[in-house]
Amino acid sequence: MTSPAVATSPRIAPSSASRRRATRVQRVAIPYTMLAPAIVLFVLFMAAPILYTVVLSFQTVRVSGLGLGAADKKLIFAGLDNYISALSDPQFVASVVRVLAYGAILIPVMLGLALVFALLLDSRRSRATKFSRVAIFLPYAVPAVISSLLWGFLYLPGISPVVYILNALHISAPNILEPNLVIFAIANIALWGGVGFNMIVIYTALRAIPSDIYEAARIDGATESQIAWRIKVPIILPSLIMTGLFSIIATLQVFSEPTTLRPLTNSLSTSWTPLMKVYRDAFIRNDIYSAAATSVVIALGTFALSFVFLRIVQRRAFGQEDS
């Protein structure tokens, strides 16, 4: 082994020459051997399940005769039938609309707060920044199930501090777990868990801005808030876009929070979100074929949104390496 200092010597020349002499086979075999664990895992646990879902989504079971014996059940090609029934299922449509509404409530509030907190952390006029940063980021360490559980109890009228205070003031408190409000209850749980992570992402981007840019602005008489909105926000815009896209992807997959809250309220149906419906169809109704079609629809919807993400990422990220 050699130290990094030796590495900068002109001895690179013979080594790259010897590399050129290496057989073509070796040049391909070595990287692929080293990539093998990732490729095998990817094929087994990502590619194969996706392929399997697609195959299932085009199949269905036709029951003939009395439908009692195994021989009476036949797997047949269903064409687009599963897709048509998935897309025309009012429960599915309702769950998609619900999740979109949930995202429309959650994402602007979460990213708005994350941006405000990050800018305040970065501002020279704020105090208690270290404590606030750790405290706001802390919920990210709490799994969604546990945070749903904590908030779920805090929502119960017998425990809720808000209800306690309102009752003390003789004001009748609304029950946040009732059907019309439960969407806010779940959005609050996701907000609690997510605002700190997004804040850290934005804050990291802010810290990367060279401070002489601000000095120039300050000499020109810009105030701290002008610097924040006119200089900092435009520079970190890509980070905001990324956090937005990741939030959209996460929103479409919401499952843990409503599933955990269900024992505490009657307001959440088993098809409250698209993924809850997929779970119910696959495991409670044993209809894996229509569950598969619904999964594909959700995945395609996610992909459509994520395509934008890939375009941004690939253009921005890999300028620094030798190609």
Q: List binders of other proteins among 154-193 (CB under 8 A).
A: 154, 156, 158-161, 164, 192
Please give the structure tokens belonging to residue 206: 């802010």
Spatial distance between the Cα atoms of 150 and 138, rounded to a whole number of angstroms: 14
Spatial distance between the Cα atoms of 307 and 311, rounded to a whole number of angstroms: 7
Among 34, 70, 169, 284, binds other proteins (CB under 8 A): 34
Contacts with other proteins by CB under 8 A: the residue count is 130
Binding to other proteins (CB under 8 A) within 196-235 occurs at 196, 200-201, 204-205, 207-208, 218-219, 221, 224
Least distance in angstroms from the C-beta of 107 to other proteins: 15
In terms of Cβ atoms closer than 10 Å to its own Cβ (0-12, 13-18, 19+), residue 206 is buried
Task: Answer for the pair 119, 232: CB distance below 8 angstroms, yes or no.
Answer: yes
Instruction: List the x/- string, 7-26, binding to other proteins by CB under 8 A.
Output: xxx-xx-xxx-xx-------
Least distance in angstroms from the C-beta of 285 to other proteins: 13
Tokens 């004001």 label which residue? 171
Return the beta strands (E) in the chain as ranges: 59-63, 73-77
Please give the structure tokens belonging to residue 69: 């014996």
Among 184, 279, 280, 287, binds other proteins (CB under 8 A): 279
Binding to other proteins (CB under 8 A) within 114-143 occurs at 116-117, 120-121, 123-129, 131-132, 134-143
Task: Answer for the pair 206, 118: CB distance below 8 angstroms, yes or no.
Answer: yes
In the complex with other proteins, which residue's Cβ is closer, 33 or 88?
33
Task: Answer for the pair 267, 178: CB distance below 8 angstroms, yes or no.
Answer: yes
Least distance in angstroms from the C-beta of 44 to other proteins: 8
Distances in Å between the Cα of 178 and the Cα atoms of 174, 267, 268, 295 are 8, 6, 9, 29
CA end-to-end span of the chain: 26
Least distance in angstroms from the C-beta of 6 to other proteins: 6
Least distance in angstroms from the C-beta of 65 to other proteins: 26
Instruction: List the x/- string, 239-278, binding to other proteins by CB under 8 A.
Output: x-xxx--x--x--xx-xx--xx-xxx----------x--x
Binding to other proteins (CB under 8 A) within 71-110 occurs at none
In the complex with other proteins, which residue's Cβ is closer, 55 or 68?
55
